[in-house]
Amino acid sequence: MKITKSKVITVTSVKGGVGKTTFVLALAAQYKMQDKKVLIIDMDLFSGDIETLLNKESKKDIYILFEDILNNNFYDVESYITNYDDNIDFIAAPKDPRYASKVNGNFLNLLISRVGTKYDVILIDTNHFLNEVNLVTFDNSNEIVYLMNNNCTNLKNMRTMISILSDMHMENYKIVLYEAKDKRKNTFKKFDIKSMIKDNINYIINQNFYIKDIDKFIIDDKMLSILTKYIKNTNSKLFDKIARDLIK
């Protein structure tokens, strides 16, 4: 039987608060609809929210995993993975942010090699820092997705990041633009944005993809089901295209 390796997709940004983690979960929901097995790794080490948004307490977090690898106590990768449902598992970010700075990227190669044939897709959620951990994460990724929204700070930072990626000869990235819910905040058109960042926008998620009362859905453990509903009602073809493009 042919053994296939997971597609590793990292979702990042150039500024916080753009909806990165929600996008990761939306991708997970889309792959679930395609009956794919998904592992989410929360590498947003200082403020990861995957565990919170899924409202599922993790067994062990990524700091414990890192420490066990460092001290040669790492044997069974399954003991660090928390099951959410039949299609989705996750590894949580450190529960205590004080431990985040102690984690480096050296463990990631080993982790991905251990889970690389157990899942169809590995989704990695990161923060927006260009640090050693994220650079190692990028090196282990088939695709990198940059989320941005329509404001001057995002555009300036994205243009700088594109220049850095070009210097590093990295071409395996895609740019996703989140349109603001308030249409008045969508100051720049697609043509203007492309001129400002000096690159293409691969996908635009329109303002209909907006979830009210998100805290209630988290508490009721309905986050994934609500995301699935929103995808089907507002952006079904788009999310299906994004998901399929990323694992080609």
Domain locations along the chain: 7-241
Are 118 and 146 a contacting pair, CB within 8 Å?
no
Distance CA 168, CA 182 (A): 36
For all residues of the chain together, what is the average pLDDT?
Answer: 89
Q: Which two tokens mark 222?
A: 């309905």
Q: Residue 182 has what pLDDT? A: 58
pLDDT at 1 over 50: no
Q: Which residue has the higher pLDDT, 224 or 204?
A: 204
Look at residue 179 in the predicted model and tell me its pLDDT. Answer: 81
Contact 235, 208 (CB under 8 A): yes
For 159-197, how does the pLDDT look when each residue is reduced to its tens digit (9 = 90+)?
Answer: 999 999 999 999 999 999 988 665 555 567 888 888 899
In this predicted model, what pLDDT tens digit does every residue of 188-209 receive, in sequence order? 788 888 889 999 999 998 877 7
Residue type, position 202, single letter:
N
Which position has the higher pLDDT, 191 or 111?
Answer: 111
d(CA 234, CA 232): 6
What's the confidence (pLDDT) of residue 63? Answer: 95
Predicted local distance difference test score (pLDDT) of residue 186: 59
Residues 93, 45: contact at Cβ < 8 Å? yes
- One of 3.40.50.150, 3.90.226.10, 3.40.50.300, 3.30.479.30 is the CATH number of 7-241, namely 3.40.50.300
| Long-range pairs for 67-72: beta carbons < 8 A, 24 or more residues apart | 69/107, 69/110, 69/111, 70/107
Identity of the amino acid at 45: L
Helix (H) or strand (E) holding 39: strand 38-43
